[in-house]
């Protein structure tokens, strides 16, 4: 399988992230249509920011996202935009969310990089550069 790289005017990249975040108090509110609408909003934000959602799963009490994003834009900015816009829209469209939660999302989230070469291979490559 050949790795696919993306590019912008300045860089060529392959930056994939696994991101997880939860509603405030980990309440199971991402159901009854909220989950479907949330997916639509997240895909819309990703499309606008030229990020690619590789996988997305919405559970009643948390969201799993596998996304590729331009490192110059940054994963933090993308997650902040996704959480902010989805909170505003979902709380407008589903008023019962405003009654159960002071804010839709917690301030925190989990993020980890995925893919690429194994760490040992990268270490060996970097070590060998002094002999080139």
Q: What is the CA radius of gyration of the chain?
A: 18
Residue 131 annotated among the catalytic residues of the structure: no
Angle, alpha carbons 110-111-113 (nearest 5°): 155
* Catalytic pick among 17, 25, 109, 125: 125
Question: 65 burial class (0-12, 13-18, 19+ CB within 10 angstroms)?
Answer: buried
Phi first, then psi, for residue 54 (nearest 5°) are: -85, -40
Q: How far is CA 86 from the centre of its chain?
A: 13
Contacts of 64 (CB under 8 A, 6+ apart): 18, 19, 20, 55, 56, 57, 58
Which of the residues are catalytic? 125
């Amino acid at each position: 399988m050949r790795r696919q790289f993306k590019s912008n005017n300045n860089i060529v990249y392959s930056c994939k992230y696994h991101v997880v975040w939860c509603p405030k108090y980990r309440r199971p509110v991402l159901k009854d249509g909220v989950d479907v609408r949330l997916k639509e909003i997240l895909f819309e934000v990703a499309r606008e920011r030229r990020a690619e959602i590789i996988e997305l799963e919405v559970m009643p009490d948390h969201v799993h996202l596998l996304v590729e994003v331009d490192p110059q834009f940054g994963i933090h900015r993308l997650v902040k935009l996704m959480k902010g816009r989805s909170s505003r829209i979902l709380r407008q469209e589903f008023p019962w969310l405003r009654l159960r939660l002071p804010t839709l999302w917690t301030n925190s989230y989990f993020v980890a990089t995925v893919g690429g070469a194994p760490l040992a291979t990268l270490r060996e490559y970097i070590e060998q550069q002094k002999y080139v």
